Amino acid sequence: MLNGKTAIVTGSTSGIGLAIAGSLAEAGANIVLNGIEPAEQVDPVVQELQEKWGVRVLFDGADMTNPTQIEAMVVGAERAFGSVDIVVNNAGIQYVAPVDEFPIAKWNAIIAINMSSAFHTTRAALPGMKKRGWGRIVNLASAHGLVASPYKSAYVTAKHGVVGLTKTVALEVAEMGITCNAICPGYVRTPLVEKQIPATAEARGISEDEVIRDVMLAAQPTKKFVGTAELGALTVFLCSDAARSLTGAALPVDGGWTAH
């Protein structure tokens, strides 16, 4: 389906990002993985994807807080593969605290990684997509890009910003064969969410089991975590020709959370 295409997936050495990278590789796309780990630590993942799906895979450790490194990642991918056809902006971090106790450094980091990096990656990749008349941009927002929760001011702000960026980009490139959409997952049991459980328990003064039952999954009518494979499958669809008229959308994959 995506044979000959190249996809950059930020924050893709674990969790949602890695699942999406695997789904795109299965569909035939070459992959640029990205993360903060040393290259040698990611080598087994690179080799596994290449051997399993018969595509080319590279790793780029670009710092998602550094616009120069982000641009260099896109330029390097274009040089290595001849094009960057798909960008999946997935990189993200989290911190939980009341607004009046929220560390300024944490606010700045979350805004930079969760929101601004999507702008910088998109900005760098769009000229090539426009030249070729084809492109797919998929932003991993969150249900928190549509609704809010207490103690997550930076994360909620960043994800709302990602949804706004998605709509703006979609309108700008609507006649150029390029689509831009946001996926808005509910709670997915990733390493990021695992770290949130004890932090939320401390912030709210409740047990970790109560966080899972009464905070995280309370809002999801299915009472189940969203699977990473579901997000990978949706991303592949959004990158297909079948989704060429689907653009500017914020698509909830949240077990019914935002249907309330």
* 100-150 residue pLDDT tens: 999 999 999 999 999 999 999 999 999 999 999 999 999 999 999 999 999
Q: Taking residues 225-249, what's their average pLDDT?
A: 97
| 187 given a catalytic annotation | no
Q: Taking residues 240-252, what's their average pLDDT?
A: 98
Domain limits, the chain: 6-186+227-253, 188-225
Q: Which residues on adjacent β-strands are paired with residue 251?
A: 183
129-142 burial, b at 16+ Cβ within 10 Å, e below that, comes to beeeebbbbbbbbb
Give how far Cα 108 sits from Cα of 65, 69, 136, 158, 160, Å.
9, 18, 28, 10, 16
For the record, the structure tokens of 244 come out as 């060429």
Q: How far apart are the first and last CA of the chain?
A: 36
The CATH number given to 6-186+227-253 is 3.40.50.720
> Which residue is catalytic, options 95, 151, 155, 187?
155
User: Using an 8 Å Cβ cutoff, are 139 and 181 in contact?
Assistant: yes
How far is residue 255's CA from residue 16's CA, in Å, rounded to a whole number? 16
* Angle, vertex CA 77, rays to CA 76 and CA 79, nearest 5: 65
Q: Taking residues 156-172, what's their average pLDDT?
A: 98
For the record, the structure tokens of 226 come out as 């969203």
User: Using an 8 Å Cβ cutoff, are 121 and 74 in contact?
Assistant: yes
Q: Is the pLDDT of residue 193 over 90?
A: no
Q: Say which residues have a Cβ less than 8 Å from residue 103's Cβ, sequence separation at least 6.
A: 95, 97
Quote the percentage of the chain above a pLDDT of 90. Answer: 90
Plot region of 205 (φ>0 → left; ψ -120 to 50 → alpha; else → beta): left
- The model's pTM is 0.93
